[in-house]
Structure 1
């Protein structure tokens, strides 16, 4: 799971904060590219996750 660290409304891009920064550095990508990646099924090389799609978790302040 990687975090979206920022959103740039001027360019409609998000900053992806990779969890494994030994191999991947943070990078900017467009919102349409992010959404396309989230609905693309996982390949067979990921074993039991094959065919699964991503999603998102929204974290926010609890409302009382």
Structure 2
């Protein structure tokens, strides 16, 4: 294999490793499903509602 071919293979391998790391380290997506359980702390959960009304959880 020529020197240019080795360099290209190394560059492709580096890019694959970088993209794998970036994909694995991204945060979990926000769950926008509505929930009416008093213990759900997701974006549309009802925990704050129950907490503000003083209802024990």
TM-score relative to the length of structure 1: 0.26
Q: Which has the higher strand share?
A: 1
